[in-house]
Amino acid sequence: MKKRLAQGGSIVMLNPSHISMTLTEKLAIAGADLIFVDCESGTASYDQLQQMTKGARLGGGHTIARPQNQEHSMLARCLHCGADGLMVPLVNTADQAKEVVATVRYNCPDQEIDEKLIIVMIETTEAVRNLDEILAVDGIDIFFIGPGDLSITMGYSPRVPPGGRRPQPVLDMVEYIIARIHAAGKATGTLVTKRDIAYYAALGTQLLYYHVDPLLAESLQAMRELATIDK
């Protein structure tokens, strides 16, 4: 994954939305580069995270875990369960970013550290204010823009109605952050949908994060439309 990032390639990360070793394996076989396991707002336990990391490896893929918070023990447990990297929420300052990097390095053997992806989430207006200092921290592979929490700190709902869009000020802010990260020579990631994945890819966003549930709904809708055409 790090080599692909360095070459300017894109990475698809899927959130299975369900705790299942088998589903994780199937998604990896289907071509997902990374499987996202949510230990923050999701319900995955450490035992379940360990099983899902095994499933991803069986399918030829990798896992990224989002820990519950930035505490050393939380990050360490996710790594010790076999996660191939961490996506750490609410990194608002350079000191927090430095601590994330230090924690990963402390908990990984020297021969493994170069294989672990370190992703920090830029998802508040505070993080945007401190962005230049955060971007100057060495050891971070991807700066991920979380549009949901960013919406909240900008005074908007984090939810998007089916077929709808986020408020334009939030979309403008996401694009602004992407441009600043790229200007610093760093890699970006964000949540995408079928509607905007091509747009964000064209902006140079390398980590494209997608939820499985809408993917399945879109596939079923396409099947229904084909069935109607056939009639």
Give the model confidence (pLDDT) of 97-111 as tens digits. Answer: 999 999 999 999 887
Q: Are 160 and 114 in contact (CB under 8 A)?
A: no
Give the model confidence (pLDDT) of 207-227 as tens digits. Answer: 999 999 887 777 788 788 888
Give the angle 16-205-127 at the CA atoms, nearest 5°.
90
Closest C-alpha to 99, from 147, 51, 139: 139
Give the model confidence (pLDDT) of 24-81 as tens digits. Answer: 999 999 999 999 999 999 989 999 999 999 999 999 999 999 999 999 999 999 999 9
What is the pLDDT, as a whole number, of residue 229?
65
Taking the C-alpha atoms of residue 219 and residue 119, their distance in angstroms, rounded to an integer, is 30
What is the pLDDT, as a whole number, of residue 109?
84
**3, 15, 49, 152 from 123: Cα distances, Å:** 26, 18, 24, 9
pLDDT at 162 over 90: no
Q: For residue 52, give every residue at least 6 positions away whose Cβ sits within 8 Å of its Cβ, in sequence order, or none.
A: 16, 19, 20, 21, 24, 35, 37, 44, 63
SS (H, E, C) 118-168: EEEEECCHHHHHCHHHHHCCCCCCEEEECHHHHHHHCCCCCCCCCCCCCCH
Show the tokens assigned to 75: 């990050």
Which residue ranges form the domains of the chain, and what is each CATH number?
2-230 (3.20.20.60)
pLDDT at 231 over 70: no
